[in-house]
Amino acid sequence: MSRRFTPKIVTANALEEGDVIFLTADDIWSRDHREAELIEDEARARLRLLHALSQPHVVGACLAEARMGENGPEPVRLRDAIRARGPSNYPHGKQEHGLHV
């Protein structure tokens, strides 16, 4: 049996602003990771990533580990948490817009 797949979300940066974005189940790019589709299955993760990579207004699409939290998927790794929140030295990035507070 293969190793258990850890759930993932698809994330990228918006082409024009560079802002961190997340792919939802209904194919919308959200600025809020809690709206992302939490993908529990490896084959689907690959498919969704391929879909993301083919999108024109998106750059740097990749999979990020996540787990279900109270209000939706939460990042697992520090790197993804920083992307979802913003840097720790200034209240910039997502935290600036009241997201993830």
Partner 1 sequence: MYEYDDFDADFVRARVARFRAQVERRLEGALTEEEFRPLRLLNGLYLQLHGYMLRVAIPYGTLNGRQMRQLAMIAERWDKGYGHFTTRQNVQFNWPRLSDVPDMLEALAEVGMHAIQTSGNTIRNVTADHFAGAAADEIEDPRPHAELLRQWSTDHPEFQFLPRKFKIAITGSPHDRAVTRANDIGLRMVRGPGGESGFEVSVGGGLGRTPVAGRVIRPFLPAADLLPYVEAIVSTYNMLGRRDNKYKARIKITLLEHGPEALTARIEERFAQLRREFRGTDRQMLARIRRQFAPPPFEEKPLAPYEAARAADPVFRAWTDTNLTPHRRADHAIVTVSLKAPGATPGDATSAQMRLLADLAGKYGHDELRISHEQNIILPHVHRADLPALHAALRGAGLATANIGLASDIIACPGMDYCALATARSIPVARGIAARIGELKLEHEIGPLKIRISGCINACGHHHVGHIGILGLDRAGVENYQITLGGDGTETFAIGKRAGPGFAHDEIVPAVERLLRAYLQLRRDRRETFIETFRRLGGAPFRAALYPSKDKADAA
Positions in the binding site for partner 1 (CB under 8 A): 13-20, 56-57, 59-60, 76-79, 82-83, 86-90, 92-93
* Least Cβ distance, residue 6 to partner 1 (angstroms): 11
Q: Between 27 and 96, whose beta carbon lies closer to partner 1?
A: 96
* Least Cβ distance, residue 13 to partner 1 (angstroms): 6
Mention every residue, 6+ apart, whose C-beta is less than 8 A from residue 80. 11, 64, 65, 66
- Give the C-alpha separation, 13 to 92, whole Å: 16
Mention every residue, 6+ apart, whose C-beta is less than 8 A from residue 26. none
Cα–Cα nearest to 11, from 57, 49, 50, 56? 49
Q: Between 6 and 25, whose beta carbon lies closer to partner 1?
A: 6
Contact 32, 19 (CB under 8 A): no
* Least Cβ distance, residue 52 to partner 1 (angstroms): 12
Q: Between 5 and 25, whose beta carbon lies closer to partner 1?
A: 5
Q: Between 39 and 64, whose beta carbon lies closer to partner 1?
A: 64
